[in-house]
A and B are shown apart, each in its own frame.
Chain A
Amino acid sequence: MSQGLRTSSGGRINRARAVRFTFDGRELSGFEGDTLASALLANGVHLVGRSFKYHRPRGLLTAGAEEPNALVAIRRDAARVTPNLRATEVELYEGLEAHSQNRWPSLKFDAGAINSLLSPFIPAGFYYKTFMWPRRAWHRLYEPRIRAAAGLGLAPEHPDPDSYSNRFAHCDVLVVGAGPAGLAAAQTAAASGARVILCDEQPELGGSLLGEADPGASLGENGRDWLTGTIRALLANPRVTVLTRTTAFGYFPHNLIGLEQRLSEHLAQPDPRQPRERQWQVRARQVVLATGAIERPLVFPGNDRPGVMLAGAVRTYLNRYGVLAGRRAVLVTTHDEAYRSALDLRRAGAAVTIVDARESASGELAEVARTAGLTVHTGTTVIGTHGRLRVKSVRIQRLDAQGRAQGAPERIDCDLVLMSGGYTPSVHLFSQSRGKVAWSEALQAFLPGESPEKVRCAGACRGVFSAAAARRDGESAAALAARDCGHAVNIAIGEPQPVQGAGAAAPGDLPQPGGNPPAKAFVDWQNDVTSRDLLLAAREGFRSIEHVKRYTTTGMATDQGKTSNLNALAIVARQLGKSIPEVGLTTFRMPYTPVTFGSFAGYTRGELFDPIRTTPIHDWAARQGAVFEDVGLWKRARYFPRNGESMHAAVARECEAVRRGCGLFDASTLGKIEVVGKDAVTFMNRLYVNGWTNLAVGRCRYGILLRDDGFIYDDGVVARIAEDRFHVTTTTGGAARVLAMMEDFLQTEWPDLSVWLTSTSEQWSVIALQGPRARQVLEGLVEGVDLSSTALPHMGVAPGKICGVPMRLFRVSFTGELGFEINVPADYGLAVWEAIHAAGEPHGITPYGTESMHVLRAEKGFIIVGQDTDGTVTPDDAGLAWAIGKQKPDFVGKRALERPAMHSPERKQLVGLLTAQPHVVLMEGAQIVADARAIPPSRPIGHVTSSYYSATLGRSIALALVRAGRSRMGQTLYVPMPDGALAVQVTSPVFYDPKGSRLDA
């Protein structure tokens, strides 16, 4: 492969190591040290992409992270396709496979380019204006078409097989950016003894210096020695962590910085066992931002053709990668600094013409250029370019004294256009720190001002552009930072370097003939926004820059307007007759450059996505073939299918076993809180609705907990273990929030109460043994407890032993049958469970799961908080007003229950529903209406909260919250479904054994 544009020597590439790669299937070759962009350019490939909206041919604009055009997909295999990578940042490796995007059928001939011809008809806001009618066409026609045309790259087809790492780190001083200011800052901070982290997005330290032919020379006194010595010292210092290929993408409160480290993207054969990326969360005591500046394009017609590049980028390709991007170049500029690029190109053998829009160019560099024999057209603007897939010429025109384009246009043939409209300091991270930026008239740039964070800026990102000055600026910033975290600083802390004017130029567009807004003068390359679009938005009445941004989409592409925002702002400001600071900047948000979802997910994928909580009996249930369901973080056995049973069949069998024999249920996930202390009963009285004073030791009670707004928050059985000790149970999902609420009241409202609260949820295994034969099963296993109904009646609690293990035995029932809940220390849970199971075998003992538990409790009309209640249900609504202690002066929620609305007869109340057709099971959540013929939208009067098929009753049952439900007993209501309304009869919510006689079976 020929690398026709490669220079014969120079650059930081390793010419001894050729690297083969493909671009859209074409085999090409570059060198070790190349980026994909520099290698493509070396092969004469200027055309690298198509623009988003008009599908215009686009080439490389930049050489860095700000690149808007050269977005490519890198493919390793079907699962490892990364779209929208900037070719300027993709390091070349052997066998790299790159694909261009947003074109069909090919990059050189793209059918979508028809949009470019249609461009007069699709200006800014086109979507909003056009696709308004007919309305029904939106879903069928407009949206699918727009969606197909939208977006850039394609996502991979398979789940990401790579792993991503996360880590936290702390340091005294974090330095972002390893250019002259960043290197000096890191070195100064390290010399003070501070712990330092230095990060840079590039593979090599040096920042902007890497684009110089002689990187050390621009650093002033002993620059070369200082540069090599500093880098060596930083890498060798154990108190300094140097992170290359690492982008500081976000600045979060209290000096927490997100870093994205790319570990294997540059390797030909990444080790699949190693993480692909590592995301760092660095908590820094002090931050020094040395994030540099981004060169600004100029806005003139045809400024987007392949071969039109930023001047600094051309210089970087030449000096760093040994690529001469063209042989006949035109430099278009408005300031002196860009002349360096022309001079470097000239030295490399290219012919360069300079077009300078300023009236005169008298700076030192301009004189050097003239002396070197370069033609300099001052007072001249560019009014157009030519060339389809590569720029072939530019047209220029003289400006008169008033800055108007006048006179005969002139044409200059060329194969490369360099442009530079000055530099925009990269204040992204500073602004994310909630730092305020201030407009500098001298520099024509927004510069960092005050920030609430402990952050300083150094170098070009605060307008100190020259490398030597940036180095001194970095030293000063780091010395102050090190001092502020308590380190002795040996160097004299100088005043911050004054900002310097070289490279300052007004943003905006170049003057055009007749003052007309030109066509195809691009401001935002990636989103295809032209100066005409911005003027249109201003004419249509958009005044806020935030609105202009959203209307035109300028600055909203994946590059977030790194090259475009300031030009857009200047054009809008001029049109509105305001100054740039009056119009103001749009907000900078993280991430600085796109960050992969994988790196945010880190280790929390698959099994590690969430913790899993299992009970001591879990493995036993799994061996029995239980099907589990997630309840919060818990895994709970839902049913135990035998011989391939369906859930329906298994639940019917399990329910029958409980109703006729006995069933065994793992209730260990119940929340449990031990409330202990001399004021425990006072505490419980104040918190729960029930009266607790009269609850005798050895008895338990169904407790209801409200919020202070009067609505049910949680429920559960509460046992009095001793005068000063309650065993409180909560719902499985509510355990943590109930304890938090208890702690809140105890610590902040009633700190005078002597009460201890302890979560015991995981200390007790709870085995529910339910059914008419439960007592017979248990009899042979317990010691020290009389199981008879007289000694241990319903809602009795007794300490004792089972299988030699200490136990709290509750005689309680969530099934309506005779039942026990055996609490044993969790470590013995499995052994006791197995012993009960073995003892129960002659009685047909049957393990049952949560699904059967739900059916059994619904048959009895027992509510589940969170299913049959929704945060707007009072105890009375749920039919539980009997539980409220009537004598108590106060409890949490009592005052709210006295509000008139809480007594309205129109409140939704819990009722039962029976479908007219007994085998139809209603959908939970289905709405209920009074009139079957009501035409939607009609107002529902309630909804179904629980619905099951009850094998015991041989029909379906449902619980529902229905407006004035208790006054509707026997009425027929309707549940509208897609196939027609289902008739239901309102009944009591207790479907089975309403007298409760089975509890004492």
Chain B
Amino acid sequence: MLLINCPYCGERPELEFVHGGQAHIARPGNPAECSDQQWADYLYRRDNIKGVHAERWRHTHGCGRFFNALRDTTSDLFLATYKVGERPPAQSQQKRATA
């Protein structure tokens, strides 16, 4: 069970959270202008990263807020959590893990 640092509440066990898939996938602003392929990519295509992955979590059984996290999928260690709308913090470890 992971320990996750909610940016609003602090460290809490994974039981309180729901995983929300890959982060930083914005819904296209004008879907009507998307081609079928672009829309399918938005709906279905996700990265399957070995290394540092930006992903969404929601503190469902806590503050209820969505936030983003950088997690190393090889070690399960969280490098950072940050609020919706913020850029992922620069991580020196990120380079190492994805290299």
Residues of A within 8 A of B (CB): 252-254, 256, 281, 283, 434, 452, 708-709, 740, 743-744, 747-749, 751, 889-890, 894-896, 898-900
**Once the chains bind, are A740 and B65 in contact (CB under 8 Å)?**
no
Q: Shortest Cβ distance from A375 into chain B, in angstroms? A: 54
Which single residue of chain A is at the shortest CB-CB distance from B75? A452
Q: Count chain B CB atoms within 10 A of each CB in A254, A434, A743, A900 and give the residue with the most.
A: A254
Q: Shortest Cβ distance from A683 into chain B, in angstroms? A: 14
The one of A434, A743, A895 in contact with B31, judged by C-beta atoms closer than 8 angstroms, is A895
**Once the chains bind, are B76 and A254 in contact (CB under 8 Å)?**
yes
**Once the chains bind, are B76 and A748 in contact (CB under 8 Å)?**
no
Enumerate chain A residues within 8 angstroms of B56, measured Cβ to Cβ: 748
Q: Shortest Cβ distance from A757 into chain B, in angstroms? A: 9
Q: Pull 9 A–B residue pairs with CB atoms less than 8 Å apart, ordered by A.
A: A252-B1, A254-B1, A452-B76, A743-B58, A743-B64, A744-B66, A751-B84, A890-B31, A895-B32
Q: Which of B1-56 contact A (CB under 8 A)?
A: 1-3, 13, 18, 20, 26-28, 30-32, 34, 36, 39, 42-43, 56
The one of A254, A256, A889 in contact with B32, judged by C-beta atoms closer than 8 angstroms, is A889
Enumerate chain A residues within 8 angstroms of B98, measured Cβ to Cβ: none
Enumerate chain A residues within 8 angstroms of B72, measured Cβ to Cβ: 452
Which single residue of chain B is at the shortest CB-CB distance from A256? B1
Enumerate chain B residues within 8 angstroms of A452, measured Cβ to Cβ: 72, 74-77
Known: A254-B3, A452-B75, A740-B60. 17 other contacts (CB 8 A): A253-B76, A254-B77, A256-B1, A283-B3, A452-B77, A708-B42, A709-B43, A740-B58, A747-B84, A748-B56, A890-B32, A895-B31, A895-B32, A895-B39, A896-B39, A896-B43, A898-B32
The one of B1, B30, B60, B85 in contact with A281, judged by C-beta atoms closer than 8 angstroms, is B1
Which single residue of chain B is at the shortest CB-CB distance from A749? B27
Enumerate chain A residues within 8 angstroms of B34, measured Cβ to Cβ: 895
Question: In the complex, how many residue pairs between chain A and chain B have their CB atoms under 8 Å apart?
Answer: 59
Which single residue of chain A is at the shortest CB-CB distance from B78? A254
Q: For the complex, what is the distance from the CA of A748 to the CA of B13, rounded to whole Å?
A: 23
Q: Shortest Cβ distance from B95 into chain A, in angstroms? A: 17
**Once the chains bind, are A747 and B65 in contact (CB under 8 Å)?**
yes
Q: Shortest Cβ distance from B13 into chain A, in angstroms? A: 8
Q: For the complex, what is the distance from the CA of A889 to the CA of B1, rounded to whole Å?
A: 43
**Once the chains bind, are A708 and B75 in contact (CB under 8 Å)?**
no
Q: Shortest Cβ distance from B41 into chain A, in angstroms? A: 12
Enumerate chain A residues within 8 angstroms of B2, measured Cβ to Cβ: 253-254
Q: For the complex, what is the distance from the CA of A58 to the CA of B8, rounded to whole Å?
A: 60
Q: For the complex, what is the distance from the CA of A253 to the CA of B75, rounded to whole Å?
A: 8
Q: Count chain B CB atoms within 10 A of each CB in A283, A434, A743, A748 and give the residue with the most.
A: A748
Enumerate chain A residues within 8 angstroms of B28, measured Cβ to Cβ: 895
Enumerate chain B residues within 8 angstroms of A281, measured Cβ to Cβ: 1
Enumerate chain A residues within 8 angstroms of B3, measured Cβ to Cβ: 254, 283
The A interface, classified by DSSP as helix, strand, loop or mixed, is mixed
Q: Shortest Cβ distance from A276 into chain B, in angstroms? A: 24
Enumerate chain B residues within 8 angstroms of A283, measured Cβ to Cβ: 3, 13
Q: For the complex, what is the distance from the CA of A256 to the CA of B14, rounded to whole Å?
A: 11
Enumerate chain A residues within 8 angstroms of B32, measured Cβ to Cβ: 889-890, 895, 898
Enumerate chain B residues within 8 angstroms of A254, measured Cβ to Cβ: 1-3, 76-77
Interface size (B, Cβ < 8 Å)?
30
Which single residue of chain A is at the shortest CB-CB distance from B20? A744
**Once the chains bind, are B1 and A894 in contact (CB under 8 Å)?**
no
Which single residue of chain A is at the shortest CB-CB distance from B33? A895
Query: What are the 3 closest A-B residue pairs judged by CB atoms, nearest first?
Result: A452-B75, A895-B31, A254-B3
Q: For the complex, what is the distance from the CA of A709 to the CA of B45, rounded to whole Å?
A: 13
**Once the chains bind, are A747 and B66 in contact (CB under 8 Å)?**
yes
Which single residue of chain B is at the shortest CB-CB distance from A743? B64
Enumerate chain A residues within 8 angstroms of B60, measured Cβ to Cβ: 740
Q: For the complex, what is the distance from the CA of A288 to the CA of B39, rounded to whole Å?
A: 51
Q: For the complex, what is the distance from the CA of A281 to the CA of B28, rounded to whole Å?
A: 43
Whether A748 touches B1, Cβ cut-off 8 Å, given contacts A740-B18, A740-B58, A895-B32, is no
Enumerate chain A residues within 8 angstroms of B20, measured Cβ to Cβ: 744
**Once the chains bind, are A899 and B36 in contact (CB under 8 Å)?**
yes
Which single residue of chain A is at the shortest CB-CB distance from B3? A254
Enumerate chain A residues within 8 angstroms of B77, measured Cβ to Cβ: 254, 452
The one of B31, B36, B76, B84 in contact with A894, judged by C-beta atoms closer than 8 angstroms, is B31
Q: Count chain A CB atoms within 10 A of each CB in B31, B39, B43 and give the residue with the most.
A: B31
Q: Shortest Cβ distance from B63 into chain A, in angstroms? A: 11
Q: For the complex, what is the distance from the CA of A743 to the CA of B27, rounded to whole Å?
A: 15
Q: Shortest Cβ distance from A171 into chain B, in angstroms? A: 14
Q: Shortest Cβ distance from A304 into chain B, in angstroms? A: 41
Q: Shortest Cβ distance from A715 into chain B, in angstroms? A: 21
Which single residue of chain B is at the shortest CB-CB distance from A899? B36
Enumerate chain A residues within 8 angstroms of B76, measured Cβ to Cβ: 253-254, 434, 452
**Once the chains bind, are A743 and B66 in contact (CB under 8 Å)?**
yes
Enumerate chain B residues within 8 angstroms of A252, measured Cβ to Cβ: 1
Q: For the complex, what is the distance from the CA of A452 to the CA of B58, rounded to whole Å?
A: 25
Q: For the complex, what is the distance from the CA of A740 to the CA of B19, rounded to whole Å?
A: 12
Q: Shortest Cβ distance from B94 into chain A, in angstroms? A: 15
Q: For the complex, what is the distance from the CA of A256 to the CA of B65, rounded to whole Å?
A: 25
Q: For the complex, what is the distance from the CA of A283 to the CA of B39, rounded to whole Å?
A: 43
**Once the chains bind, are A253 and B27 in contact (CB under 8 Å)?**
no
Q: For the complex, what is the distance from the CA of A748 to the CA of B55, rounded to whole Å?
A: 13
Enumerate chain B residues within 8 angstroms of A749, measured Cβ to Cβ: 26-27
Q: Shortest Cβ distance from A635 into chain B, in angstroms? A: 23
Which single residue of chain B is at the shortest CB-CB distance from A757? B64
Q: Shortest Cβ distance from B44 into chain A, in angstroms? A: 8
Q: For the complex, what is the distance from the CA of A934 to the CA of B56, rounded to whole Å?
A: 50
Whether A708 touches B43, Cβ cut-off 8 Å, given contacts A253-B1, A743-B64, A895-B32, is yes
Enumerate chain B residues within 8 angstroms of A256, measured Cβ to Cβ: 1
Q: For the complex, what is the distance from the CA of A900 to the CA of B64, rounded to whole Å?
A: 38
Q: Shortest Cβ distance from B65 into chain A, in angstroms? A: 7
Q: For the complex, what is the distance from the CA of A943 to the CA of B94, rounded to whole Å?
A: 50
**Once the chains bind, are A748 and B31 in contact (CB under 8 Å)?**
no
Q: Shortest Cβ distance from B42 into chain A, in angstroms? A: 8
Q: For the complex, what is the distance from the CA of A744 to the CA of B18, rounded to whole Å?
A: 12
Q: For the complex, what is the distance from the CA of A709 to the CA of B3, rounded to whole Å?
A: 33
Q: For the complex, what is the distance from the CA of A743 to the CA of B60, rounded to whole Å?
A: 10
Q: For the complex, what is the distance from the CA of A751 to the CA of B65, rounded to whole Å?
A: 12
Which single residue of chain B is at the shortest CB-CB distance from A252? B1
Q: Shortest Cβ distance from A521 into chain B, in angstroms? A: 40
Q: For the complex, what is the distance from the CA of A894 to the CA of B39, rounded to whole Å?
A: 11
Q: For the complex, what is the distance from the CA of A433 to the CA of B32, rounded to whole Å?
A: 48
Enumerate chain A residues within 8 angstroms of B39, measured Cβ to Cβ: 895-896, 899
Which single residue of chain A is at the shortest CB-CB distance from B40? A899
Q: Shortest Cβ distance from B48 into chain A, in angstroms? A: 19
Q: For the complex, what is the distance from the CA of A253 to the CA of B28, rounded to whole Å?
A: 36
Q: For the complex, what is the distance from the CA of A747 to the CA of B63, rounded to whole Å?
A: 12
Q: Shortest Cβ distance from B87 into chain A, in angstroms? A: 15
Enumerate chain B residues within 8 angstroms of A253, measured Cβ to Cβ: 1-2, 76
Enumerate chain A residues within 8 angstroms of B85, measured Cβ to Cβ: 751
Q: Shortest Cβ distance from B75 into chain A, in angstroms? A: 3
Q: For the complex, what is the distance from the CA of A751 to the CA of B72, rounded to whole Å?
A: 28
**Once the chains bind, are A708 and B27 in contact (CB under 8 Å)?**
yes
Q: For the complex, what is the distance from the CA of A330 to the CA of B72, rounded to whole Å?
A: 54
Which single residue of chain A is at the shortest CB-CB distance from B85? A751
Enumerate chain B residues within 8 angstroms of A743, measured Cβ to Cβ: 58, 64, 66
Which single residue of chain B is at the shortest CB-CB distance from A736? B60
**Once the chains bind, are B66 and A748 in contact (CB under 8 Å)?**
yes
Enumerate chain A residues within 8 angstroms of B58, measured Cβ to Cβ: 740, 743-744
Q: Shortest Cβ distance from B68 into chain A, in angstroms? A: 9
Q: Shortest Cβ distance from A449 into chain B, in angstroms? A: 14
Q: For the complex, what is the distance from the CA of A744 to the CA of B72, rounded to whole Å?
A: 24
Q: Shortest Cβ distance from A532 into chain B, in angstroms? A: 39
The one of B36, B64, B84 in contact with A748, judged by C-beta atoms closer than 8 angstroms, is B84
Q: Shortest Cβ distance from A624 into chain B, in angstroms? A: 36
Enumerate chain B residues within 8 angstroms of A751, measured Cβ to Cβ: 84-85
Q: Shortest Cβ distance from B86 into chain A, in angstroms? A: 12
Enumerate chain B residues within 8 angstroms of A894, measured Cβ to Cβ: 31
Enumerate chain B residues within 8 angstroms of A895, measured Cβ to Cβ: 28, 31-32, 34, 39
Q: Count chain B CB atoms within 10 A of each CB in A743, A747, A896 and give the residue with the most.
A: A747
Q: Shortest Cβ distance from A795 into chain B, in angstroms? A: 30
